[in-house]
Structure 1
């Protein structure tokens, strides 16, 4: 891999006519890739999603801030474009104005590829003339798709089509559809390695820790989009788990049972989801049903039995002494 990367750098450096030091450094990784920035007009949510044959592409390419916008910076990546782009948007610049300012002082812009979307849905994109073929972008209504070093010129048109045709889906699933469409027509000429998905609120709140709605990365995987899709579904399932926990806090046991059961149905192999569904059943006077769920869990992972004995002390298991003995006696 090191030899291949060295050869690639040598070949590409021969294309450059100026500012070699500005084009590549250890802090500006080669993220030849395909990505999408997009906004949901109904919710205001903004997303940036990416896949590449490069390690941990999400730490370099994708940037976003609630109420501000999202940025994808790739090809010979200038990582500063992420934070600087968001700062420009925050200062009141439009997506195009921010992009123009970033590129105005960039001596390596010929090998850059950048897309910016602001909180109003304005988009701007740039594909430098020395980005490696096949490379290009398409901007549409509240989205931009861009790609470089692709197997064919079909990649970014396929992404745009998939995004536009999936308008009924949540934003995260729409951008995933675009990434999968890119891969279906060949994707990155080098193959697959990593992917990332970031979704932020359309408006910032007083709880900034909740403003990143989805933040998922697959840093190294032979099928990164398949794994990213699994993580997104798991994320959705755990939202139901969190809702169940909140219901427990409010002593709404029927509500908690509904949420835990929904999560379990989404990922039935997940022991934790099955476990809390069982505990909620027990708390709702459905101990026989709880026992059926708990028995295989205890058999597979005995530590869950140990945890169960600790729950009555903190009020998370409200069964009688006799019922607790039944639970603990499971084999």
Structure 2
């Protein structure tokens, strides 16, 4: 272990990059802990990761709906992401795909990689030159892996947490696993960035539908805590989106329910308050809507101006007289 840590220090103190080691590519240094996992009920698949490295989500986590997910870390070979997903898309299992790519990788001794396919097959690999504490552990529909950890308790803590929170939705389970890793000691260097991606169970040819969740914390003192907060915001805006769709359909009762759920999660958010007020006004409940509009306008006058523009788009369905009552 001391020799490996010395190697790492020498690389950077001498101004060298990982390209000086055979088989390693330039600027591919991302020691970290991560989890790849699948929800057996929904079929969703996820990658969660944290590292003391800037923007870890841009290089470690990969996923494709209906195909699988990949975490590639340590001295990162990013090709494991797209190439692994392509192999799994062609019907190669996670284990076979990972084995095939590891065998042709000259830098395999420095790699740490995990694959999970849409059938729930998982496979992990930890090269013998990954910095301790380094290990990967597979369970039913998940794999946890880490290197350069403070201690050897991080990996079992992640696995135990993922199993313990089995009643949680997959994204929240993944975050709990990351939290457990940090509580057990985490990255020996500390914390800096984190990421979470979730892909669906069905393949799609629409690129914008590939990821159901795509959250990144690129630089933060407490990245996992921030990731957890962003996931909560994401959930709230899921309700907002459903409310918007309900408004388009003219279903104001459903819109009120969805906007109300979002507002309950973030009661001080003006956006959520505002659209709830719009739904109330459209439902003929103008007197309930007016004080909400008034509060929003008092905090930001731009919302008042926007309100005058909504009737022309059919988003706010009130009479001219009612509109004046709202904006006065």
Aligned mates of 1:206, 1:82 — CA distance in 2: 18
Post-superposition offset of 1:10: 5.0
Post-superposition offset of 1:321: 2.1
CA offsets 1:84-136 (integer angstroms, 9 cap, x no match): 11111112211111111111111111110000001111111011111111111
For the 8 Å contact 1:19–1:107, the answer to whether it is kept is no
Aligned mates of 2:203, 2:14 — CA distance in 1: 41
Post-superposition offset of 1:281: 0.8
Post-superposition offset of 1:209: 2.6
Q: Secondary structure at the match of 2:292?
A: helix
Aligned mates of 1:189, 1:96 — CA distance in 2: 29
For the 8 Å contact 1:248–1:256, the answer to whether it is kept is yes
Map residues 136-147 of structure 1 onto 2, 5 A cutoff.
136-147=135-146
Structure 1 length as normaliser, TM-score?
Answer: 0.93
For the 8 Å contact 2:22–2:106, the answer to whether it is kept is no
1:135 aligns with 2:166: no
* Residue 60 of structure 1: aligned partner: 59
* Cα RMSD (Å): 2.2
For the 8 Å contact 1:19–1:108, the answer to whether it is kept is no
Post-superposition offset of 1:211: 3.5
For the 8 Å contact 1:61–1:77, the answer to whether it is kept is yes
Aligned mates of 2:53, 2:159 — CA distance in 1: 23
* Residue 168 of structure 2: aligned partner: 169
For the 8 Å contact 1:37–1:49, the answer to whether it is kept is yes
Post-superposition offset of 1:327: 1.2
Structure 2 length as normaliser, TM-score?
Answer: 0.93
CA offsets 1:208-259 (integer angstroms, 9 cap, x no match): 5323111111111111111111111111111111111111111111111111
Aligned mates of 1:270, 1:254 — CA distance in 2: 21
* Residue 306 of structure 1: aligned partner: 305
Q: Which runs of 5+ in 2 are unaligned?
A: 1-5
Q: Which runs of 5+ in 1 are unaligned?
A: none
* Residue 239 of structure 2: aligned partner: 240
Map residues 222-241 of structure 1 onto 2, 5 A cutoff.
222-241=221-240
Aligned mates of 2:291, 2:125 — CA distance in 1: 58
- Consecutive aligned runs of 4 or more in structure 1 exceeding 3 Å deviation: 4-8, 10-14, 205-208
Aligned mates of 1:11, 1:100 — CA distance in 2: 34
